[in-house]
C-alpha cells in the first residue's frame, strides 16, 4: 500500500498530445506524489502496421466489444510499437522533465499475467465467425512487489499494454483494464482514465450530456450509456473499484492540464 | 558487487539464433548464477527501416569505425525495433524457460547515461563530410543500483542498446560497449561478447587463425588484428578490463551451447 498513489492511463487515440500530460506528471511527481503511467498505442500500431503492409483488422466480438484481431505477426508489430516506440518516447519526454521514468511492458518480470485468448468469436456481415491464431489476453495477476520496489526507489513506472500468459506467451491486452488491474493490485488512491471524450456521456457524442458523478454502488446502471470503447473502460472502472481503489475518474485527455483537471474532479467521477 | 556475475552480449548479426543462447542462460540461471543479458538489433533494424521506406545509411567514420547514421527518424525506428521487438521477443523466450527476465533499455530509469554525439564526421568517396542531426552516444555512466536491485530480487535484466544524454535525449549506443560499461559498473566476473566469428582472428576471415589467449596487459598490441566491428569490441574489452572485470571472452554465437562454450574458454579469452 502506497499512500496517495495515482495510476493514470493515457490513450493512444488520435488527437491526444502527450505533452500537457507529461507536464502534469512532472508537477505531481515533483511534489512527491507516487504515480504509475499506463499507455495505449493502437492508433500508432495501425499506422505502422499499414506501412509494413499488414493493415489492421478491426472486428466486433460477439459480446459487442470492438477489438483488433491480433495474429502473431500483428502481436509482434503491436509489441514493437507500444513497448519500443510509444513507451520509449514517453520515457524520454518525462526524463527531459526530470521525472525518473522507467518503461516496462507487462512481459517484463511477468509484470502482468493472464490467460491467452487463442481464438476470437466475431460477428461479421451478420454471421458469427471464429478467428484462430489470436494473441490477446486479459490481465489476471499483477507483480505488485516489482512496482512497489520501483516506486519506493523514486521511479515512475511507465507501462506498455502487453501481458504474459501462464505458459509464457506474450499477449496484447487492453490498456484501460491493465491500468485498472494495476490500480487494484496497488490499492491506488485514484485511477484516472484519460480519453478523447470528457467522460461518460448520457447521449454520446453530445458532450453536454456528461455524467459528472456516479456513486460506486450504481455503476452497473450506467453500462447502457457506454458506446464503443467506453464499454471496456467501464469494465475497468468496475474492476478497479472492486479491487479497492478509492476513486476512478474518466476524463478528457485533449485539454490543457488533463491530469490536474481530472484530479480536481472534472470528468466522470466514480467513488 | 555481485559474486560470479556474468554479463553476456548477444549480437544482432545475421546467422545468430537466440534459441541455444536462451537455453544456456536458463541452465546457468537455474543454477543460481546472476546474469545480465545485453543485445543488439542492427540487422533487424535495417530490415524494418527498409520496409518502412527509410533504408539505413551505413557510414565509415574518420577514425575508421563502421557505423550507422542515426538521424531522428532512424533513432525512433532503432528504438522501436531494439526495445520493442528484439528485447520483448528475448524476454518472452526466456520467460518460456522460467527465466525471470525483465527487459529494459538504457533510457529506462537512466540505466545508461552518456553524451550525445550530434554530428558525425565521415569519409565518403575519399572525402571528409559532416552529417548533422545525429542521435548516437557513448555510455559514460551506468545506474548500477537499479541493476543490483533487480538482480538481488532474482530478475535477469535484458538490456536494449539505447542510452539517455545528460539533457534527456534518447540516443543509439553500441551494444558491445554498453555491455562492457555494465560489466565494469557491476564489477562482473566475466563479460562474454558473442558474435558471428569464433573470436579475434590473426588473419580475418580465416577462422583457423583464432587467437585463443590475450594477457590483459597486452591488449593494445592486438588492435591491429581487429577488422570492422571487431574494433569496437576490443574497445569494449579494454573498457571492461580497466573497469575491473576479471575476464572477457570473445566467442562464437552461432554454435550449440554458445555461452557454455565461451565460459569454458572457447574463443579469445582476455584475462
CA atoms of B200 and B233, how far apart (whole Å) = 10
Give the separation between CA A111 and CA B108, rounded to whole angstroms. 16
Confidence (pLDDT) at B14: 67
Tell if the CB–CB gap between B88 and A170 is shorter than 8 Å.
yes
Task: List Cα–Cα distances, A87 to A101, A106, A210, B76, in angstroms.
Answer: 10, 12, 31, 11
At residue A15, the pLDDT reads 66
Q: Is A3 exposed, middle or buried (0-12, 13-18, 19+ CB in 10 A)?
A: exposed
A6-50+73-112+140-270 fold: Carbamate kinase (3.40.1160)
Q: How confident is the model at residue B11 (pLDDT cuts 50, 70, 90)?
A: confident
The residue extents of the domains of chain B are 6-270
Q: Searching chain A, which residue's CA lies closest to the CA of residue B74?
A: A85
Q: Are B136 and B171 within 8 A, CB to CB?
A: yes
What pLDDT sits at residue A45? Answer: 95
Chains A & B: contacts with CB separation below 8 Å: 131
Q: Do B102 and A109 touch (CB under 8 A)?
A: yes
pLDDT of residue B170: 98
- pLDDT of B86 over the 80 cut: yes
- Tens digits of residue pLDDT in B165-210: 999 999 999 999 999 999 999 999 999 999 999 999 999 999 999 9
In chain A the first and final C-alpha atoms are separated, in Å, by: 19
Mean pLDDT of chain B: 95
Which residue has 490543457 as its cell numbers?
A256
* Nearest chain B residue to A48, by CA: B52
Nearest 5°: CA angle at A259, between A257 and A263?
Answer: 120
pLDDT of the residue at A68: 84
- Among B201, B232, B224, B238, smallest CA distance to B65 is for B232
What pLDDT is stored for residue B144 in this prediction? Answer: 98
pLDDT in tens, chain A (271 residues): 789 999 999 987 666 789 999 999 999 999 999 999 999 999 999 999 999 999 999 999 888 777 889 999 999 999 999 999 999 999 999 999 999 999 999 999 999 999 999 999 999 999 999 999 999 999 999 999 999 999 999 999 999 999 999 999 999 999 999 999 999 999 999 999 999 899 999 999 999 999 999 999 999 999 999 987 898 899 999 999 999 999 999 999 999 999 999 999 999 999 9
Angle separating helix axes A72-79 and A42-51, nearest 10 degrees? 120
The distance of A269 to chain B (nearest Cα, Å) reads 32
Chain B touched by A159 (CB under 8 Å):
no
Q: What is the pLDDT of residue A61?
A: 86
Task: Give A179's Cβ-side CA count (13 Å radius).
Answer: 31
Euclidean distance between CA atoms A41 and A19, whole angstroms? 16
Q: What is the DSSP string of A179-218?
A: HHHHHHHTT-SEEEEEESSSS-BTTTT-GGGB--EE-GGG
Strand partners, B160: B105
Q: Cell 546472476 identifies what position?
A: B34
CATH fold, domain B6-270, is: Carbamate kinase (3.40.1160)
What is the number of other CB atoms lying within 10 angstroms of the CB of residue A269?
20
- Residue B37's nearest CA partner among B118, B139, B96, B105 is B105
Q: Which positions in chain A touch B105 (Cβ < 8 Å)?
A: 88, 103
Q: What is the pLDDT of residues B212-261, one digit of tens each?
A: 999 999 999 999 999 878 988 999 999 999 999 999 999 999 999 999 99
Q: Residue B167: helix, strand or coil by DSSP?
A: coil
pLDDT at B15: 66
Q: With beta carbons under 8 A apart, name residues in chain B contacting A85.
A: 76, 79-80, 84
CA atoms within 13 A on the CB side of B55: 3
Q: Are B37 and B29 in contact (CB under 8 A)?
A: no
Q: Does B101 touch chain A (CB under 8 A)?
A: yes
pTM over 0.90: yes
Residue B78 to residue A229: CA distance in whole angstroms: 31
pLDDT computed for residue B147 by the predictor: 98
pLDDT at residue A252, rounded to an integer: 95
Host H or E run for residue B49: helix B42-51
Is B71 within 8 Å of chain A by CB?
A: no
Q: Which of residues 5-44 of B touch A (CB under 8 A)?
A: none
Give the pLDDT confidence score for residue A7 in this predicted structure.
98
Amino acid at each position: 500500500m502506497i499512500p496517495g498513489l495515482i495510476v493514470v492511463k493515457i490513450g493512444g487515440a488520435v488527437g491526444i498530445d502527450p505533452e500537457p500530460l507529461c507536464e502534469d506528471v512532472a508537477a505531481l511527481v515533483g511534489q512527491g506524489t507516487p504515480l504509475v503511467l499506463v499507455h495505449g498505442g493502437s492508433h500508432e500500431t495501425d499506422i505502422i502496421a499499414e506501412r509494413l503492409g499488414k493493415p489492421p483488422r478491426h472486428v466486433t466480438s460477439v459480446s459487442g466489444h470492438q477489438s483488433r484481431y491480433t495474429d502473431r505477426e500483428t502481436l509482434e508489430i503491436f509489441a514493437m510499437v507500444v513497448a519500443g516506440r510509444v513507451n520509449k518516447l514517453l520515457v524520454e519526454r518525462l526524463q527531459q522533465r526530470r521525472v525518473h521514468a522507467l518503461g516496462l511492458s507487462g512481459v517484463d518480470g511477468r509484470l502482468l499475467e493472464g490467460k491467452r485468448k487463442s481464438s476470437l468469436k466475431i460477428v461479421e456481415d451478420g454471421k458469427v465467425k471464429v478467428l484462430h491464431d489470436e494473441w490477446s489476453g486479459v490481465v489476471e495477476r499483477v507483480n505488485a512487489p516489482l512496482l512497489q520496489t520501483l516506486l519506493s526507489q523514486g521511479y515512475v513506472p511507465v507501462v506498455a499494454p502487453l501481458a504474459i500468459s501462464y505458459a509464457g506467451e506474450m499477449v496484447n491486452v487492453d490498456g484501460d483494464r491493465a491500468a485498472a488491474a494495476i490500480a487494484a493490485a496497488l490499492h491506488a488512491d485514484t485511477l484516472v482514465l484519460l480519453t478523447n471524450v470528457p467522460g461518460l456521456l448520457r447521449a454520446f457524442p453530445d458532450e453536454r450530456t456528461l455524467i459528472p458523478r456516479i456513486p460506486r454502488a450504481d455503476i452497473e446502471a450506467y453500462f447502457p450509456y457506454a458506446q464503443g470503447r467506453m464499454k471496456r473502460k467501464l469494465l475497468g472502472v468496475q474492476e478497479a473499484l472492486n479491487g479497492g481503489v478509492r476513486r476512478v475518474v474518466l476524463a478528457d485527455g485533449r485539454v490543457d492540464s488533463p491530469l490536474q483537471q481530472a484530479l480536481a474532479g472534472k470528468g466522470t467521477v466514480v467513488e
